[in-house]
Amino acid sequence: MTDQKPLLSVRDIKVYFNLDEGTVKSVDGVSFDAYEGQVLGIVGESGCGKSVTMKSILRIVEPPGKIMEGQVLLSKRDHPDEYLDLTSMNEKGKEIRAVRGGEIALIPQEPMAAFSPVHTIGNQIIEAIMLHCDVNKKEAREICIQSLKSVGMSMPEKRVDSYSWQLSGGLRQRAIIAMAIAGNPRLLIADEPTTAIDVTTQAQILKLLKDLQRERGMSILFITHDLGVIAQMAQYVVVMYLGRVMEKGPVDSIFHDPKHPYTQALLRSIPSAQKTTKIKLPTISGSIPHPFNKPKGCPFHPRCAYAIKGKCNVNLPSEYIVGDQQYVSCFRYEKSEVNIR
């Protein structure tokens, strides 16, 4: 995998929201690579900037938000060695619009309101198809029905003319997935696709995503709070905290040999099937600081047990390699960097 070129490369991206009350540094230097055919999981507490990072990839961050620095590179479909710089494109231009939905599709976070309630889902999916494929309306409708079928929706010919609020949560999520894959994208961003869905349906949706990924050789950026889902789905994991990447690495390394104090704490807080003793689950102490008052230095230092006074609260740690493909942003590993490359 090491010698393979990434499909998408996010490099030190920073997204700030300039509000009257002050600047919210939602994403403050995030880097990761996504490879073809890979499922990349992104985990982090609510508000750590996962959705904003995804929006910045597609260049759809809402107005007060702005990409301050960094690059998002996407390899070209026909020339995988050449890269498109998404950050340099005009936000409203044709180029980036061809990427949205055509190369990178998004399953948005709020499935309840992701469809317009006064247009049929067919109408909205057909629209997506016609934006990226050179077909007429009738053909688009056929494709739409096909893709509804491929996401496991029964009676697609009938459902195509229904409204989103007539569908159950699971069906609606399937419809959204159908819309996302309609443009035949190479990368699918799934922003918490299984929240607000019951557990059984959740498992079905996860299976569907996995199947689609395998069939189409798509890459998926999978965002979630749920480490269990990550373990099940992803090959590579990025752990975020307060707009920064704390640790990233192959899923096995992250789960079995977490290096960053935050990752360790996070893993400790999930219930394990093996543990039968009834001990209280530990939680990470302290609360997430207010976004306006992001701490200086390592963002985790107010809650970190290993914080080094005069260092962690002053300087930002950079990313240190600690294993195969595993990077940690913590001063504890400053000197123990392994040299693999």
Partner 1 sequence: MTENKGSSYKENPITLIPDKEVSEEFSSTASEEKVSVASNWKLVWWRYRKNRLAVVSLFLLFFVLTIIIFPDFYANQYSEKTNAREAYIPIQKIHFLRDGKVDMWAEKLVGKRNMKTLAMEWVSDPAQPVDIKFFGKGFQWKFLFWKTERHLIVPVDTSERIFILGSDRMGRDQWSRLMYATKTSLTVGMVSVLISVLLGVLLGGISGYFGGTADMIIQRLIEILNSVPYVPIWMAMTAALPRDWSSEQRFFAITVILSLLGWTTLGREVRGKFLSIREEDYVLAAELIGCSKFRIITSHMVPTFLSHIIATGTLMIPQMIVNETSLSFLGLGLRPPAISYGVMLQEAQNVKTMAQAPWLMIPGLVVVITVLMFNLAGDGLRDAADPYSK
Partner 2 sequence: MASYIAKRLLVIPLLLLVFSIVIFFLIQAPPGDFMTTYSAILAGSGSSMDNEQLNLMRVDYGLDKPMHIQYFRWMGKLLHGDMGLSLLYMLPNTKLIGDRIGLTVLLAFFSFILSWLIAIPAGIFSATHKNSIGDYFFTVINYIGVAIPNFFLALLLMWICYDLWGLNLVGLFSPKYEMAPWSWAKIGDLLSHIWLPSLILALGGSARLTRIMRANLLDELGKPYMITGRAKGMSEWALVMKYPVRLAINPLVSTIGNYIPQLFSGSLVVATVMNLQNIGPLLLQALSMQDMYLSGSILLVYCLLAIVGTILSDMLLVWVDPRIRME
At 286, list the tokens: 């302290």
- What type of residue sits at position 92? K
Nearer to ligand ATP, 51 or 213 (CB): 51
What totals of helices (H) and strands (E) does the chain contain, helices first?
A: 10, 12
Q: Which residues bind partner 2 (CB under 8 A)?
A: 55, 58, 60, 62, 92, 97-102, 105-106, 108-110, 112-119, 124, 127-128, 131-132, 163, 165-166, 176, 179, 183
Give the integer Cα–Cα distance in Å for 52 and 44: 13
- Interface stretch with Mg ion, choices 105-113, 123-131, 178-186, 207-215 (CB under 5 A): 105-113
d(CA 196, CA 55): 21
Say whether residue 332 binds ligand SF4 (CB under 6 A). yes
Position 306 contacts ligand SF4 (CB under 6 A): yes
Answer yes or no whether residue 50 interacts with ligand ATP by CB under 6 A.
Answer: yes
Tokens of 297: 């230095």
The DSSP string of 120-176 is BHHHHHHHHHHHHS---HHHHHHHHHHHHHHTT-SSHHHHTTSBGGGS-HHHHHHHH
Question: How far apart are the C-alpha atoms of 298 and 314, rounded to whole Å?
Answer: 8
| Binding segment (CB under 8 A) for partner 1, from list 48-56, 119-127, 141-149, 268-276 | 268-276
Q: Which of residues 258-287 bind ligand SF4 (CB under 6 A)?
A: 261
Instruction: Supply the DSSP symbol for 290.
Output: P
**Which stretches of the chain bind Mg ion, using CB under 5 A?**
51, 109
- Residues in the site for ligand ATP, rule: CB under 6 A? 17, 19, 24, 26, 44, 46-52, 62, 64-65, 109, 291
Which residues contact partner 1 by CB under 8 A? 227-228, 231, 255-259, 261, 264-265, 267-268, 270, 272-274, 282, 284-287, 289-290, 293, 302-306
